[in-house]
Amino acid sequence: MSPFSYFRPDSIEAALAQHDGVLARYLAGGTNLIDLMKIDVEKPNAVIDVNRLALTAIESGNGALRIGALARMSDVAAHAAVVADYPVIAQALVASASPQLRNMASIGGNLLQRTRCSYFRDIAFAACNKRNPGSGCAALAGENRRHAVLGVSPSCIAVHPSDLAVALVALDATVHLRSTRGERALALDDFYVLPGNTPDKETRLQPGEMVVAVEVPASTVARHSTYLKIRDRAAFEFALVSAAVGVALAADGRIADARVALGGVGSKPWRARRAEALLVGEPPQPALFATAAAVALEGAQTQQQNAFKVELARRTLTRALRRAASTEEISWTAG
Ligand SMILES: Cc1cc2nc3c(=O)[nH]c(=O)nc-3n(C[C@H](O)[C@H](O)[C@H](O)COP(=O)(O)OP(=O)(O)OC[C@H]3O[C@@H](n4cnc5c(N)ncnc54)[C@H](O)[C@@H]3O)c2cc1C
Ligand code: SF4
């Protein structure tokens, strides 16, 4: 680990002022940042511990859910309003990491965690455009079973690792940001950017800018939402594929509103708006769900080892839609 200065400011203003806008990093739970510092992938000159900042509130009311950037994953997952009115968020969180990690890890840190691509995480491999711009991509001809099939580029095929981000993107969440220039809000879907030729740039976060909160509008579709995650083992594992969906039915039984987002397959949390449009206005039926799932995976670009993800994602999405449209009680357990 490279040497760094450590600061623990008491206010947002002091934290923003401490950031040099280049090499400094904010520290929340540290479950990703410290991990990457230990393996020399991250080498900040300064670590600004934000844990004293008043950003832990989880507030529900006035037509929205607002989650402070420092709220812990476990607290959000167990919050009564989240469980009742935004089940896809609670389920995505409970399916993430482990209880110990969820107690440490924050919402802001989760949204900004880096990819798990093994070439990105191992500096012995020189070729990684995300870690070392212009160096190539070792995964293209290497181990790519877990890599992305949607939104990829010839520069990078890394998958976005967050489960929470998939659920939030499905529900039209906005992310609230603070910098020395003031506050702004962005749709979370727009916050994440495609890799293109610059996979080192993953979000629209400006240097030194801080995530202060995430806001999710309340809706019927959010109340009828669910998260289905398929992984190599039942706990403590990232998604091979996942689906965050919501289905709201009208009085005549047809679909009034639908949300579809995929995880484990995209270079960013993957919202499938064409699939949603296909569902709305139709009676909920297995054949319709299968068609929507096929549409959601259109344009997938596979590599040598990850073609299986396309069919797995289709089946996962079909199952998740069936689940969200049913009136059955959904049983879900912690990972
Ligand atoms: C073994 C293991 C298994 C895991 N499994 C899963 C899984 O299944 N699903 C899943 O989604 N995640 C999984 N994770 C990832 C885990 O959820 C993240 O490490 C965690 O959410 C990061 O949150 P943190 O608060 O610890 O972030 P930190 O490590 O503190 O920060 C992460 C990044 O975000 C930046 N940052 C943090 N807060 C802010 C802020 N407010 N504003 C601006 N920048 C900020 C930091 O500078 C850093 O770059 C796993 C992790 C491990 C180690
Ligand atoms: S997939 Fe992306 S993160 Fe992985 S080696 Fe290629 S450039 Fe690096």
Residue 328 has pLDDT above 90, yes or no: no
Q: Ligand 2 pocket test: which of 42, 113, 119 has the largest number of ligand atoms within 8 Å of its C-beta?
A: 119
Ligand nearest to the CA of 127: 2
Asked if residue 47 has its Cβ within 6 Å of ligand 2, the reply is no
For residues 229 and 242, what is the distance between their CA atoms, to the nearest angstrom? Answer: 4
**Residue from 28, 39, 250 nearest 125 by CA:** 39
Ligand 2, closest atom to CA 158? 1
Q: What is the DSSP letter of 114?
A: P
Domain ranges in the chain are 1-52, 220-325
Q: Kindly report the protein residue whose alpha carbon is nearest to atom 8 of ligand 2.
A: 128
Distances (CA, A) of 187 to 118, 142, 173, 222, 273: 29, 34, 6, 16, 15
pLDDT for the residue 235: 86
For residues 180 and 177, what is the distance between their CA atoms, to the nearest angstrom? Answer: 10
For residues 220 and 246, what is the distance between their CA atoms, to the nearest angstrom? Answer: 9
Asked if residue 161 has its Cβ within 6 Å of ligand 2, the reply is no
Q: Ligand 2 pocket test: which of 36, 129, 131 has the largest number of ligand atoms within 8 Å of its C-beta?
A: 129
Ligand 2, closest atom to CA 138? 5
- 1-52: what CATH class? alpha beta
Ligand 1, closest atom to CA 163? 11
- 220-325: what CATH class? alpha beta
Ligand nearest to the CA of 267: 2
Ligand 1, closest atom to CA 238? 8
For residues 304 and 169, what is the distance between their CA atoms, to the nearest angstrom? Answer: 29
* Beta pairing partners, 64: 61, 217
Residue 55 has pLDDT above 50, yes or no: yes
Confidence band for 33, pLDDT divided at 50, 70 and 90: very high
pLDDT tens for 130-168 read 999 999 999 999 999 999 999 999 999 999 999 999 999
Confidence band for 329, pLDDT divided at 50, 70 and 90: very low
Asked if residue 325 has its Cβ within 6 Å of ligand 2, the reply is no
Q: Which residues contact 98 (CB under 8 A, 6 or more apart)?
A: 235, 236, 335
What pTM, to 2 d.p., does this model score?
0.97
What percent of the chain stands above pLDDT 70? Answer: 97
Question: Radius of gyration over alpha carbons of the chain, in Å?
Answer: 19
In the chain, how long is the greatest CA-to-CA distance?
Answer: 64
CB 261 within 8 A of CB 169: yes
pLDDT tens for 95-126 read 999 999 999 999 999 999 999 999 999 999 99
Q: Is 231 helix (H, G, I), strand (E, B) or coil?
A: coil
CB 214 within 8 A of CB 187: no
Strand ranges across the sheet with 182-187? 58-61, 64-68, 210-217, 174-179, 182-187
Confidence band for 196, pLDDT divided at 50, 70 and 90: very high
Ligand nearest to the CA of 55: 1
Give the CA-trace dihedral at 248, 250, 254, 256, to 10 degrees: -50
Asked if residue 115 has its Cβ within 6 Å of ligand 2, the reply is yes
pLDDT tens for 205-219 read 999 999 999 999 999
